[in-house]
Amino acid sequence: MDLSKLLIPGAVRVVGQLTSKKRLFQELGELAAQAYGMSGATAIDGLQERESLGPTGVGHGIALPHARLEDLTQIRGVFIRLEKPLDYDSVDRQPVDLIFGLFAPKDSGVDHLKALALVSRTMRDQAVVSKLRANSDPSKIYAILTEARSTQAA
């Protein structure tokens, strides 16, 4: 599995500023709806439901919100880079600016966990994170994300 199987170029966005985690989830849901045709409302509800179990801010300015949804047939990702970091209640209490949202079918089981692990490993790579923060072009961000794991896997 690599990120190019989870993420398409149209699912990457750079956003100037958001005022709340709720607004971020709305943005992620809208992006998922536009990129993959899924229900934005269902995506938002799934993210909020999962977040109620505990924060998905993993530290170092990175958040990995995720949800399992009924109507999906495959795992899908969306990525947002914020130009102004947002308070997210992360484990290290630092605001986030790199958000990789993951949506999986309700019954995806271990595949969902594998996808989450792949995204997590990619977002822990300091070279990748630095490049993501240095770019505002969604197509370049997509290339950075999808090249990162495939070159390390080879």
pLDDT tens track of the chain, all 154 residues?
789 999 999 999 999 999 999 999 999 999 999 999 999 999 999 999 999 999 899 999 999 999 999 989 999 999 999 999 999 989 999 999 999 999 999 998 899 999 999 999 999 999 999 999 999 999 999 999 998 654 444 3
Give the other-Cβ count within 10 Å of 83's Cβ: 12
DSSP characters over 33-79: HHHH---HHHHHHHHHHHHTTS--EEETTEE--EEEETT-SS-EEEE
The tokens 């500023």 sit on which residue?
17
66 given a catalytic annotation: yes
Please give the distance of CA 32 from its chain centroid, rounded to a whole number: 10
Q: What is the pLDDT of residue 64?
A: 97
Q: Which of 66, 68, 81, 149 is catalytic?
A: 66
- The H or E element containing residue 34 is helix 21-36
- 10: DSSP letter: G
Q: How far apart are the C-alpha atoms of 100 and 115, rounded to whole Å?
A: 11
Q: How far apart are the C-alpha atoms of 94 and 59, rounded to whole Å?
A: 7
Q: Is the pTM of this model over 0.95?
A: no
Query: Do the Cβ atoms of 122 and 148 come closer than 8 Å?
Result: yes
Q: How far apart are the C-alpha atoms of 120 and 11, rounded to whole Å?
A: 18
Query: Do the Cβ atoms of 151 and 131 come closer than 8 Å?
Result: no
